[in-house]
Amino acid sequence: MRKPFLAILCVCMALFLLGCSLTRYSSMDAEEMLKLSDDNLVIGLVLQLGTKDFSELNESQKVVYAAASLEMQVRNDGLVHFLSNECKGAAPYICVALETLGAAEHLALLQADLTKNKVDLTDLSVFDTSELDAFSKLNELYDFSDLEGSYKSLPSLPQYIRAYMQAHLEDF
């Protein structure tokens, strides 16, 4: 009886602590965000801007949110996840965001993968799934190896995001 209780207690404490650390991002202003590490900047931007409808963001926020979402998803789950329903608002805007940031290498690889796989960013309905089996099949159907395979060797996308935010601080 004691071991299951301790295990549940440990899980609850971990979730509580994680929740507390994640909520700190919601109250940060742009200058505080810019002091964060690259990973924490990306997490903070996705958490903070992701609470709003994408269409309600100003242009600078759209650029930063789309790029931060791409960074987070490609590094963790892959491009299929970025194109799925979680980032749908940002996905059709991603080419504009990368071009605006000056991330030409990221943009070229992304466009090559989208073209190779005949993905139309204006119609991502095929990626709209929450079913694990369907999501796995999407990963099998689409080969995004150009971007995903080269991603870690590309210049740091968070550095592009950071520079853009510094130049457009008034928009955040």
pLDDT in tens, 28-76: 888 998 999 999 999 999 999 988 899 999 999 999 999 999 999 998 8
pLDDT at 7: 46
Over residues 129-169, the pLDDT tens digits come to 877 788 889 989 999 988 888 998 999 999 999 999 999 99
**C-beta separation of 127 from 138 below 8 A:** yes
Least confident of 47-51, 92-96, 118-122: 47-51
Domains contained in the chain, CATH given: 28-171 (1.20.1420)
Q: Which residue has the higher pLDDT, 127 or 14?
A: 127
Amino acid of residue 165? M
pLDDT value, residue 1? 41
pLDDT of residue 94: 96
Do 49 and 64 touch, CB atoms closer than 8 A? yes
Higher pLDDT, 64 or 25: 64
Which residue would you say has higher pLDDT here, 20 or 140?
140
CA-CA distance, 61 to 67, in Å (whole number)? 10
**Residue (of 123, 112, 67) closest to 90 by Cα position:** 67
Quote the tokens at residue 144.
């995004």
